[in-house]
Amino acid sequence: MAVAEATLKRKAATLATTDLVATEDDDQEEDLPYNLIDKLQDSGINAADLKKLKDAGFNTSQSVVFAMRKDLLSIKGLSDQKVDKIIEAARKSSEVGFVTCTQLVSKMKSRFQIATGAGKLDQMLGGGMESCSITEIFGEFRCGKTQLCHSLAVMAQLPSNMGGANGKVVYMDTEGTFRPDRIRQIAEAKGVSAEAAMDNIIYARVYTSEHLEQLLVEAASLMVKDEDRFALVIVDSIMGGFRVDYSGRGELSERQQKLARVLNKLQKVSEEFNVAVVLSNQVMADAGGGCAFMPSHPKPVGGHILAHFSTTRIMLRKGRGEQRVAKIYDSPCLPESESIFEIYGGGVRNASD
């Protein structure tokens, strides 16, 4: 739920905040970007079938619309006739279908951007990390990927006038690099309660690619059950488990199919709950892409599957000292450009001259 502006100003000033994501008065209910699946009972779907859907991870009408019919049929106790009735009711409830460009613009007004903390970098990104989309950050080790993820995890909780989105964060860590002490340090630098900032981050250590897929289902359930809204989902890094679980060309096809399912789920979650999804990614050497005199830049792992699912791709590389260079690698609306930022105790900021 939204946070009262006056309350947030007081919290930032006193550093004694006990909440960053708070509720407004009961009569000021926020419009949710999704429809709870329980509402399908009004369309004649019985409660027992709705419970079966929820037990299988379908908590909203949109999640039913986004699912394949065969996935719904795999739920024990749902017949062909029941599934057809559920799908029809969910589509009517979700109002999916063609719209005019004008209507689309009106729908997109609910989207938001989460600032990174570095003004010039945010300007290059058109305001920050956009909701309802996947932003991929890739680069070599020590180029600032995890530092940027930590900074975004705090920034997402701040009010909109401070570059945030008044929301909680889901942080999935595949490499064991998440550090609560870093969250505390960044939060204190932003002038908010470190304890509140850490309470608003829902963290999970991911061990395999299958575990990641399972956690995405659990994350969607949390977003429905939690009384506070979520603003950001971070996976650091997306290919961490896949590169270990699948090896060699013999398993490449299977790996890419599994990756596509995970990315498809992330994309649906971003649109279903109006959250920003940020993925960090590893790189590999491009042995055939350069020569001895002109070595090529490392390529992001994941191939075309990850490239097509990512809305915006940002390449990071090391600069001088704590400076890092961010470059728009691919985007449907942003021109190719670069921005220099700096890593410091409070997260990231504009590079000092």
pLDDT tens figures, 196-241: 999 999 999 999 999 999 999 999 999 998 888 999 999 999 999 9
pLDDT in tens, 148-163: 999 999 999 999 999 9
State the pLDDT at residue 295.
Answer: 59
Does residue 20 surpass a pLDDT of 80? no
Nearest to 147 by CA among 301, 325, 346: 346
**Which pLDDT score, from 0 to 100, does residue 293 have?**
59
Closest CA to 295 of 140, 135, 121, 138: 140
Intervals of CATH 1.10.150.20 along the chain: 37-94
Residue with tokens 């062909």: 80
Statement: residue 8 has pLDDT above 60 = no
Is the per-residue pLDDT at 321 higher than 90? no
**pLDDT value of position 17:** 45
CATH architecture of the region 113-350: 3-Layer(aba) Sandwich (3.40)
**Stretch 284-305: mean pLDDT:** 74
Dihedral angle computed from the Cα positions of residues 288, 291, 294 and 299, in that order, rounded to the nearest 10 degrees? 10
Instruction: Sort 106 into a burial class: Cβ within 10 Å, 0-12 / 13-18 / 19+.
Output: exposed
Q: What does the alpha-carbon distance between residue 48 and residue 319 come to, in Å, rounded to a whole number? A: 58
* Residue 137 CA from chain centroid, whole number: 12
The answer to whether the CB of 124 falls within 8 A of the CB of 339 is: yes
Residue 115 has what pLDDT?
Answer: 97
Q: Does domain 37-94 have CATH number 1.10.150.20?
A: yes
Cβ atoms of 171 and 201 closer than 8 Å = yes
Residues of the chain with CATH 3.40.50.300: 113-350
How far is the C-alpha of 215 from the C-alpha of 177, rounded, in Å? 18
Q: Please give the share of the chain, as a percent, with pLDDT higher than 70.
A: 88
pLDDT score recorded for residue 289: 55
